[in-house]
Amino acid sequence: MRVPPYYRRPGWQRFFAGVIIGAICGWVFFLYNFGTIHEELVIRISKQQIELKNQRDTIEELRSEQQQKNEENQRRLTLQRIEVTFTNERKLRLNQLTLYELNQQAINELKFLEQKNIETVASMKDLMVSTIENKVFQINEHRYQLDVQEVYLFTTLQLYVEIIPSS
């Protein structure tokens, strides 16, 4: 058996030439499209990697700034509230209104300490105690003095005081 001689017929020659030229054109088209798409993807990935690196650097910078601010704020805490607690309120049997007014007057005496730096308040501790102890508080017709027992200082100033009726 023999292969028919297609190379002598011009119709078949054109067909095979068309197939080969079409395959070559298709391959060139595929390579061109694949190359441009691949190039775009490589550029996009490069941009995203650069952006990701920049974002990580920014995050690290912000974290370090936040940590520095937290450390600075910890050093510079301010006094937020003042609380006065009476240690002998049950023994004296004062009514709630008298206790409330006495508490408010004592807090008003120390109101100037609010929003001050805790270090400043700690250095003024003796002044604060003498301010409370030397003041005579008058409620209705009764007069009271306060004796400071304990002082706790952080963002809240807690004073534990004893009520002494004065005559």
What's the mean pLDDT in 146-150? 94
Task: State the Cα torsion 124-125-128-129 to the nearest 10°.
Answer: -150
DSSP 8: G
pLDDT at 15: 87
**Digit-coded pLDDT (tens) for 60-73:** 999 999 999 988 87
Distance, CA of 157 to CA of 79 (rounded, Å): 7
**Digit-coded pLDDT (tens) for 6-64:** 667 778 788 888 999 999 999 999 999 999 999 999 999 999 999 999 999 999 999 99
Compare 71 and 111 and report the one with higher pLDDT. 111
Domain boundaries, the chain: 6-75, 81-166
Distance, CA of 86 to CA of 103 (rounded, Å): 8
Confidence of residue 117 (pLDDT cuts 50, 70, 90): confident
pLDDT at 24: 95
Q: Give the residue carrying structure tokens 């027992």.
A: 149
pLDDT at 79: 86
69 beta partners: none
Which distant-in-sequence residues (6+ apart) come within 8 Å of 124 by Cβ?
A: 113
pLDDT at 101: 94
Whether the per-residue pLDDT at 159 is higher than 90: the answer is: yes
- Dig out the tokens for 135 from the structure: 């003041």
86 beta partners: 161
